Amino acid sequence: MNEAELAECHTALGVAAGVTLEELERVFMKKNFALIKGKAGAADEPNPALDAQRSALRTAYEKLAGHLREKQRQAEAAAPRKRPTLTDPPIAAKALRTRPPMTPLTASPLGPKTLITPPVVTPRDPADDEFILFRFDNWKINVLVPPLLLAFVLLVNVSPLGFFLQGFHVWMHEFGHATAAWLCGFRATPLPFGWTPVEPVYSPFVYWGLLLMFVILFLAGWTERKAWAMVAAIALAGVQYYMTWRMPPLTQEFWWSAFGGVGGEFYLSTLFMMFFWVQLPEKFKWGACRYVFFFIGATAFLNIWLRWRDIYHGVEEIPFGSMINGEDDQGGDMNKLMDGFGWKKFTIRRNYLLLGYGCWAALGLMWAIFALGLNKVADRVAGRFSKTEEAL
């Protein structure tokens, strides 16, 4: 655009030669609005002169605005580039705007040059998100839930609903025979109708298979630093070794054939309840399953305990015979104790009553250990021992 055209545009818009782009836009808008306002008075009548005037005004504005934008681009391209610094007013102002305000927790009274140590953020333990009833480190669960469950099971047993729990008692009795036979290295199959066939011949499959399960339990507890799982695995492996290789054959038969049925109802049900506090490895999903096992153990234990308490005090008679063949079966557990091992009726009543008291004492001791927090000592010892072994 030459000088003559620029002058015409300036004259048409009524602006000076040094007008800026912003000023030009304001003048154009003002003049254009005035023309539109003048046309509005005679909107129904065509006005070619006014339309031509508006068109000329817009053409002049577009030419002059394009010229000014081109000059602005050329000026920016010709200007030398400068690396911005924090001392430049725009950047310094921006830095001040984006800087977070100082608070009493982060500001230092000694001045801006003092090194401020950021607060240590403790990572959140995933166990905190676990359902509270499935947690093992909550003292309220360890102290209050077992007694409440025992009271609930007692109410169920004395109610008409107790009839539906009889199946658990039969299974616990038969598993008492079976577990004693397994620990002695014999094959046994606990059946739900009151009979457990046992092959009184040593079975390597039973012995080594059971030992392998104890080893797996120990290794899983070692990996996850669960002290009680390791203690249980070592204890069971020791009992298995003694009952298989050190116990006389007659004593073995006494355990799996005669005493282990009712005895198993006592000690197996007690173990079911005691394992409520034992934190097994994660793969066992024990946080939820322990409630089921405690319920089964509690209903079997309370049933056998109340029954033998009444037997000892003469309210009930000793249960001679067997479930399948009735009271006349000479192969019942109590018959074997009297005929095969020389026990008297008083001996039977007293020993099972003492066994019940011993189970109560073991259950109370386990409750006290976790109520007083003594279990944490074993967990710390196991954790330190595992770390020491890994370092070596």
Q: pLDDT for 234-261, tens place per residue?
A: 999 999 999 999 999 999 999 999 999 9
pLDDT bracket for residue 123 (50, 70, 90) = low
- 255 or 43: whose pLDDT is higher? 255
Q: What is the per-residue pLDDT for 118? A: 57
Span 342-347, average pLDDT: 94
Least confident interval from 57-61, 110-114, 253-257: 110-114
Comparing CA positions, the residue from 63, 57, 69 lying closest to residue 28 is 57
pLDDT bracket for residue 278 (50, 70, 90) = confident
pLDDT bracket for residue 149 (50, 70, 90) = very high
Q: What is the per-residue pLDDT for 380? A: 64
Integer CA distances (angstroms), 358 to 54, 272, 354, 368, in order: 111, 15, 6, 15
Span 279-305, average pLDDT: 85
Comparing CA positions, the residue from 278, 275, 277, 280 lying closest to residue 293 is 275
Q: What is the largest CA-CA distance in the chain?
A: 138
Q: What is the per-residue pLDDT for 250? A: 94
Integer CA distances (angstroms), 354 to 206, 307, 351, in order: 31, 13, 5
Q: What is the per-residue pLDDT for 100? A: 53
If you average pLDDT over every residue of the chain, what do you get? 80
Strands (E), the chain: 186-188, 198-202
Comparing CA positions, the residue from 326, 182, 158 lying closest to residue 264 is 182
Q: What is the per-residue pLDDT for 98? A: 52
In whole angstroms, what is the distance from residue 90 CA to residue 263 CA?
88
Comparing CA positions, the residue from 146, 138, 182, 150 lying closest to residue 373 is 138
Instruction: Give yes or no for a contact between 190 and 174, defined as CB atoms under 8 angstroms apart.
Output: yes
